[in-house]
Structure 1
Amino acid sequence: MSPAAPPLRRQLLRRKPLASFQHDSEQGRLKRTVGLFQLTMIGIGATIGTGIFFVLNSAVPEAGPAVVVSFVIGAVTAALTAFCYAELASAVPVSGSSYSYAYATLGEFAAYAVGWCLLLEYAVSGAAIAVSWGQYLNDFTERVFGFQIPAAVAAPPGAGGYVNLPGAVLVALCCLLLIRGAKESATVNTVMVLVKLGILMLFVAVAVTGFRSSNLHPFAPMGMAGIGAAASTVFFSFIGLDAVSTAGEEVKNPRRTLPLAIIYSLSVITAMYMLVALVGVGSQPWTAFADQQAGLSAILADVTGSSRPATLLSAGAVLSIVSVVLVVLYGQTRILYTMGRDGMLPALFHRVHPGSGTPVASTMAVGVLVAVLAAVVPLDELADLTSMGTLVAFTVVSVGVLVLRRTAPDLQRGFTVPGYPATPVLSVACCGYLIHKLPAHTYLLFTVWMVLATVVYLTYSRHHSRLQTADGVGGDLHPVTQLDPAP
């Protein structure tokens, strides 16, 4: 006769032991090949490009020139959360990012919900970036070769076409590179990030010659409501910080490398965003941003009266946005890998190719999902949904710092949050403010996603969790002395 299953409440609240995380990290199948510089480039690569190359066209009409303030709000929120990420990443240096941190602090169902938020965040953002890549590709081909890819196969439904073929092809190529290996992917990403930073500095240097203070008036035509709404939109541009922590089991000396890479990434990202946003809104009237395709290159063309700088920027965007898709897909596959290892998803997602050391099945599954989203879903619908998933994950990380300080005060940490406990509390408050500003339809889509997650958890994941062993029900959990008590 098999043992009785534990009560549902205990299943929902059981936490994965810290010793289990350490064991998983030491016995992990992934190869530790990524250093500090490459990891910092992963953070920058996953972030710069997700927003600044195209999100101004969505955010400036909401806030006017005050979009600069929206970026400040986003940066402050990201900074507060980055400190929390840095502490948890140094204390629990494994793959899975905020999913793993929630499993250690808040319990299994909270972790599972966060995992689904991350899957939503990465899948939707990867698709959104692929859509924007097609816009810059069209701008580049028109400037250089005098033709554009037909709208029917270059834009999703609702955006003038039937399918976004370039975006789907880009996702497929990035997946092939990821299957090759993490080290190879990180090297390619580093090269593309350096090109990206050079292109953006070119934009700043050229566009500033067209800066007119009159373009900053009126500064906030939509008032604080517009600034807040734009801040929720541009926060989509800061998701790369989460991508750094998904590499926990492929990083050399993770307790030191992870927090440093998070802080270095945020510093570079914030400085670049502020420069580009300020120069951009100062170089043309804010009303010109609405419905503007490949906005940064269009600004350069207007400022210089020549197509050459704009062509160069479009070429750089075509190349550099590839790095964003690459890292976003990388992050999602590592979350699937970790959830598969914990039994939250089928074991297929935890399988690693013996030669490349990469989770091939996870990569292929992610590729299919993201390619379909990129092909058929309009860009504006994707950006706000990504912000929701990101903000929920960031909130959980900040709460996790507070919980882990109480439950494991003596745990080794390579970095500690400055200004504790004010910093994580302010992070939660800022994330809550930005969530509040998201549109109603985003809440509806997010609710549908979480209902689906709950159904899958109740019908599959709670029964296959590796922690069932610790509760006395079947399974095969590696040796761990005891389960952390549920709160």
Structure 2
Amino acid sequence: MQEVSLKRQLTGFELVIFGLSLMAPVTVFTTYGIAADVTGGRVPFAYLFAAIALSFTALSYAQMVKAFPISGSAYTYVQKAFNSKAGFLVGWALLTDYMLLPMVNYLIASIFLSSVFPSIPAMVWILILVVCNTFINIRGTKMASWVNSLLLAYAFIVVILFTIFSVRFLQNNGESLWSTMPFVNSGFDLGLLMAGASLLCFSYLGFDSVTTLAEEVVNPKKTIPRAIFAIVLIGTAVFVVVSYFAARVQPNYQNFSNLDASGMELVAMVGGNLFVSLFLAGMLIGCFASVLAAQSSASRVLYAMGRDSMLPAIFSKLHAKYQTPVFNLVLVGLISLLSIVMTLTMATAFINFGAMIAFLFVNLSVIGFYYVKQKKRDVKGTILYLILPSCGTLFVLYLIISLNVYSLILGITWGAIGVCYLIYLVKVKGMKKLDLSFEEAS
């Protein structure tokens, strides 16, 4: 009987769609008011600052996927750069990012839908969304990519319409289209920019997700690095353009009646009630697309850990026809049902901690694998494999320190559970150092 394996079929374009879907560019509207308050109105500059800072980590992901084009993302890279136990702990932390991100989006989507259909309980919407997303992902990455392409296209239509309406709004009010005010406001303030960047970095979560699909990508060593930087660049363009025009339409962020709902106020100002309806639909569609990508990413990390015997063997099983990890997808869907009882704050706290730990160790993996193990220490190697990932490490450390107390407490608690399970694997199961070959992974 022929062994079932993941199928290499995704193109670079489909990868970019996948990453942007998880990133959900329309979330720039939901964070704008809070970001404006934190940065003193310098939101576009803060987005640029965050993009530059995270580019170091994006480069580290690109370097590691060239060496290890297999599923698992940060889990695989740390395992190969250091050892299987360190890899497990980072993979354990990474699970909180990908497995709970669907929960956050289900919560947001249920809030939107309940506001439009108040007679239908939020629980019903969550159940419907979980079933639909799980079904699409089980059918394969091609189907999920096709659905995500349609959903993302609508989200970009919303962004384009907002830009057009903003231009019209400014012209009708006799305002110039171009101004440096959204970038510098009353002057340059590094402290405010750092605070804003630490908040807005989480808008970029998603560029790393494409590495989880490495075994389903055609020519992954070239395709994935290009996709990573395309996602960061496109996401940055959307964030900067939207936040720039938001600042021009409403120069004084203190005039918003509710900072949390500033996006809705901006949309109403430039486009009226009809555009508000289109905007709400775009936000809902963005949540749906993000869930599709996050659920798929989580299932691939679980698959890699199951294949390495870090988790029970059932996590490494693939559907004979669709070649997808059905058990993992259903499990993530079931976990997402916790959104019925969990708060948005708690779920977000878990995600932030897991993502930052993964980012931290991917940067360290570049140093550990290329600079230490491979001894690439000439001028080029020192720059690429020591200085640049060190810059990424320092910035991510700053982000971890900036996490709120809930993120740290929940993250440390989850980490402690992972350590206990690792002790069980070593002492009871007798886990030894793993050495997964590329041929086996392919």
TM-score of the pair, normalised by structure 1? 0.79
Could you say what secondary structure the match of 1:65 adopts? coil
Q: How far 1:385 sits from its partner (Å)?
A: 3.4
- Equivalent position of 1:269 in the other structure: 235
Q: 1:478 to 1:43 in 2, by over 3 A?
A: closer
Q: How far 1:135 sits from its partner (Å)?
A: 3.8
Work out which of the residue numbers 420, 425, 441 in structure 2 matches 1:460: 425
Q: 1:450 to 1:38 in 2, by over 3 A?
A: same
- Equivalent position of 1:179 in the other structure: 138
- Equivalent position of 1:398 in the other structure: 363
2:350 matches 1:360: no
Work out which of the residue numbers 152, 165, 171 in structure 2 matches 1:193: 152
Inter-partner Cα distance in structure 2 for 1:218 and 1:406: 39
Structure 1 unaligned blocks of 5 or more: 1-26, 142-147, 155-163, 471-476, 481-487
- Equivalent position of 2:201 in the other structure: 235
Provide the aligned length of Structure 1 versus Structure 2: 426
Work out which of the residue numbers 13, 32, 54 in structure 2 matches 1:37: 13
- Equivalent position of 1:55 in the other structure: 31
Contact 1:220 1:227 in 2 (8 A): no
Q: How far 1:131 sits from its partner (Å)?
A: 2.0
Q: 1:469 to 1:136 in 2, by over 3 A?
A: closer
2:96 matches 1:120: yes
Work out which of the residue numbers 149, 152, 159 in structure 1 matches 2:118: 149
- Alignment RMSD, CA only? 3.2
Contact 2:352 2:407 in 1 (8 A): no
Q: How far 1:207 sits from its partner (Å)?
A: 2.8
Inter-partner Cα distance in structure 1 for 2:419 and 2:26: 29
Q: 1:288 to 1:359 in 2, by over 3 A?
A: farther
Contact 2:78 2:90 in 1 (8 A): yes
Contact 1:66 1:220 in 2 (8 A): no
Could you say what secondary structure the match of 2:361 adopts? helix
Q: How far 1:264 sits from its partner (Å)?
A: 1.1
Contact 1:169 1:371 in 2 (8 A): no
- Equivalent position of 2:163 in the other structure: 204
- Equivalent position of 2:41 in the other structure: 65
Work out which of the residue numbers 202, 211, 217 in structure 2 matches 1:251: 217
Q: How far 1:425 sits from its partner (Å)?
A: 1.0
- Which amino acid is 2:109 matched to? W
Work out which of the residue numbers 373, 391, 402 in structure 2 matches 1:437: 402
Inter-partner Cα distance in structure 1 for 2:372 and 2:383: 19
Q: How far 1:276 sits from its partner (Å)?
A: 1.3
Could you say what secondary structure the match of 2:213 adopts? coil
Could you say what secondary structure the match of 1:368 adopts? helix
- Which amino acid is 1:149 matched to? P
- Equivalent position of 2:346 in the other structure: 381
2:57 matches 1:81: yes
Name whichever structure is richer in helix by fraction.
2
Q: Note the 1:6-25 alignment, pairs <5 A.
A: none
Q: 1:278 to 1:165 in 2, by over 3 A?
A: farther
- Equivalent position of 1:300 in the other structure: 267
Inter-partner Cα distance in structure 1 for 2:429 and 2:371: 29
TM-score of the pair, normalised by structure 2? 0.86
User: Residues 153-186 of structure 1: CA distance to partner in whole angstroms, max 9, x if unpaired?
Assistant: 44xxxxxxxxx55345323321111111111111
- Which amino acid is 1:243 matched to? S
Structure 2 unaligned blocks of 5 or more: none
Inter-partner Cα distance in structure 2 for 1:216 and 1:71: 11
Moved over 6 A (4+): 212-215, 477-480
Q: Which moved more, 1:171-180 or 1:353-362?
A: 171-180
- Equivalent position of 2:299 in the other structure: 333
